[in-house]
A and B are shown apart, each in its own frame.
Chain A
């Protein structure tokens, strides 16, 4: 055999052996964490600093916080491998999971029990969704998990093809706006995030005399902390455990949990987002990116 062929063979074998073993070799020096830019950066930093400090201490590693400019920016950077851990909205996670195999780690107890309300005018005689056939319907934001995707999923489960079932389908752009469309009679039926609506009721911005809840969807998962597929499993488990270890009975940790509006952190599973993933596929939302 000629020399080049031997060399080539040896190189190929070497590469294969290296690729088999290299996975656990690289030492992670720093954990880069990014969060959803759903608030001002200063507020977000203030909110997440205690968590970062806690993680850094627990993992005995440097942990950095990154605030992306937008949801899309966060996703893109995550795709680029700039983040090891990211807090995603449901739909973002589905995309990241689809595209780069992002692994869900943990989510707050409340994140596992998200729900949406189907709202109708208080004087509407309907008792169930099927009573609303041929009427005007409004989602919230088109890319919202609780305002569009999951409600559509549950509608689909009831064999309702939204665009054909209702006389008019619109996207209000926000949960409160959907409620107001229903209140103002500009839509007969609207769907919005349960927590938001509850708060609106609580704050008196929405009156139960004007808008009532027709149907509450089953609980579904939304926000989730996900790890990059490249993050070593051991470290991922450590981070997961650090989150799950947070206890209200420890004062500093209680502060962290409070800042993050969490009771406890629970393990997250890809199964939690199976429905969202399914509807995203149905709507071909994952194709364009």
Chain B
């Protein structure tokens, strides 16, 4: 591949050669033309001289012919005149001599002219003329007037001489008439020659120039094409590169945008997650509170009876007291009345004490449960009593239905754990069974059982004879917000809270099984001693 400068160099150099070639051709044509012009002048000059030659020859020959005619006449007239004589008169002899002299003069001039031009076409005839003239003159010199007339000599030698004059004259006449044509032919030949050679060289030059031009064109064309192709390839490359760059930048932008979007959505999600977690916590907390609420409602219901009894008793006793006071004031107080009053008061007070004590017990229980459940305080406790307390708080809700909640827990199972959360687990599981398990069932039964597995591990089982949990839901039961009663009061968090409390706080494990009673069976394995948490306050553990 040549560079652009190289191409330009080739272009320039070849063009220079081309111009030189053109100049040479032009020079050649010019020189040929000059040569032709020079030849033309020469030919014209020759033409002129040839014309002079022919014309002067014709003039001289005509004159000679005329003189010869005169001589002829002289000879024959003298013959006529002297028909009876054998000699020419002296006058005739003089004329004859004079005539011969004139002829000699003409001959001399003709010879001079002819030899001057020395034209081969004429020279043989000129030589013949000279020969005949000499022969004739010789005969005439030998002629003796006394021996007879010159007629015979004239006929034998003069007439042939005359004929040669005619030959030469005709030659010259033809020469004159041919002059133009011959010279034209000569001239034409010159032109033809010049034109032929000039033409050939011109044609060759044109062919060479054309070929060279073609070559250059081809080379330049090729160069140009390859350069063009290269340029195109470059352009295409640049184009694709820029496209690629654009694409890249676009991609980068897009990726950045996406990243930002993702980050945003991530943030958002994180936020949402946090919110959700918070909400979950809130929900869990509210759930706890809800269970606490139901606990309170139960407790309130339980308290209602003793407190109502107490109220009735105290009111009755107040009536009794007012009646006694009135009788005492009126002085109508008698012993029997006082004794009756004392007896009645004694019974009433006993019943009052019993009822208030019952209420106090209830409040104490509630207080314990409430404190446990809301504070999740770690402490050592007896499993049986804690579960009993919890079941006690749940009983009011069961008593409203035909279902039963029973427990079978060995005594003296001591644990160092979180009684509140444990109680909540029992509460949730029991209430779940009550709420979801016994639809359309006459006598539902929830059993809470416990068993010591080892020195440091116990097993708690909560099972029912309800409709149970479909197997396909086994894996989802502990997921948060999983509920089959959505919109009917189920939050979907109960089992999740159970799972979380057991696995995280209590350090145990939970497993769902099909109960032999027909419903669900939740098996909880717990360490006797719960794992140590960083902080005592574990309320927010879920």
Q: Which A residues are closer than 8 A to B by beta carbons?
A: 1-2, 5, 9, 12-13, 16, 20, 109, 112, 237, 241, 244-245, 247-249, 263-267, 269, 271
Contact A1:B208 (CB < 8 A) given known A20-B193, A269-B177 = yes
> Which positions 119-145 of chain B face chain A at CB distance < 8 Å?
120-121, 124-125, 128, 135
Give the CA-CA distance A263 to B128 in the complex, in Å.
16
Number of interchain pairs (Cβ within 8 Å): 63
Q: A244-B128, A266-B170 are in contact. List 16 more A-B contacts (CB 8 A).
A: A1-B207, A13-B200, A20-B193, A109-B166, A237-B120, A237-B124, A241-B125, A244-B125, A249-B160, A264-B164, A264-B166, A265-B167, A266-B166, A266-B167, A267-B174, A271-B174
Say yes or no: B207 contacts A269, CB within 8 Å: no
Interchain CB contact (< 8 A) of A109 among B121, B163, B174: B163
Interface size on B, as a range, is 20 to 34
CB proximity of A56 to chain B, nearest CB, Å: 18
Q: Say yes or no for B204: interface residue by CB 8 A criterion.
A: yes
Query: Shortest distance in angstroms between A288's beta carbon and chain B's nearest beta carbon?
Result: 27
Assess the A249–B157 pair: CB atoms within 8 A.
yes
Using known A-B contacts A1-B208, A241-B124, determine if residue A247 contacts B160 with beta carbons closer than 8 Å: yes
Q: Are B174 and A269 in touch, CB under 8 angstroms?
A: yes
- Residue of B whose beta carbon sits closest to that of A112: B170
Q: What are 12 A-B contacts with C-beta separation under 8 Å? A: A1-B212, A9-B204, A13-B200, A13-B204, A109-B166, A245-B128, A249-B135, A265-B167, A267-B171, A269-B178, A271-B174, A271-B177
Q: A16-B196, A249-B156, A267-B171 are in contact. Are A5 and B177 (CB under 8 A)?
A: no
Quick check: is B514 within 8 A (CB to CB) of the other chain?
Answer: no
**Shortest Cβ gap from A217 to chain B (Å):** 20
Q: Decide yes or no whether B173 CB sits under 8 A from chain A.
A: yes
Q: Which of B167, B173, B193, B208 contacts A244 (CB 8 A)?
A: B167
Return the contact of B163 from the options A2, A237, A263, A271 (Cβ within 8 A): A263
Taken together as a complex, chains A and B put the C-alpha atoms of A241 and B119 apart, in Å, by: 14
- Tell me whether A269 and B193 are in contact (CB under 8 A): no
Q: Which of A5, A241, A245, A266 contacts B211 (CB 8 A)?
A: A5
B204 lies within 8 A of A269 (CB) = no
> Are A264 and B173 in touch, CB under 8 angstroms?
no
Which residues from chain A contact B124 at a C-beta distance below 8 Å?
A: 237, 241, 244-245
Tell me, rounded to whole Å, the shortest Cβ–Cβ distance linking A285 to chain B.
24
Nearest neighbor of B168 in chain A, beta-carbon distance: A267
Residues of chain B contacted by A248 (CB below 8 angstroms): 156, 160
Q: What B residues does A265 contact at CB under 8 A? A: 167
* Chain B: CB-nearest residue to A247: B160
Closest B-chain residue to A106, C-beta based? B167
Q: Once bound together, how far apart are the Cα atoms of A109 and B211, in whole Å?
A: 64
Whether B121 and A264, one on each chain, are in contact in the complex, defined by CB atoms closer than 8 angstroms, is no
Q: How far is the CA of A276 from the CA of B171 in the complex (A)?
A: 20
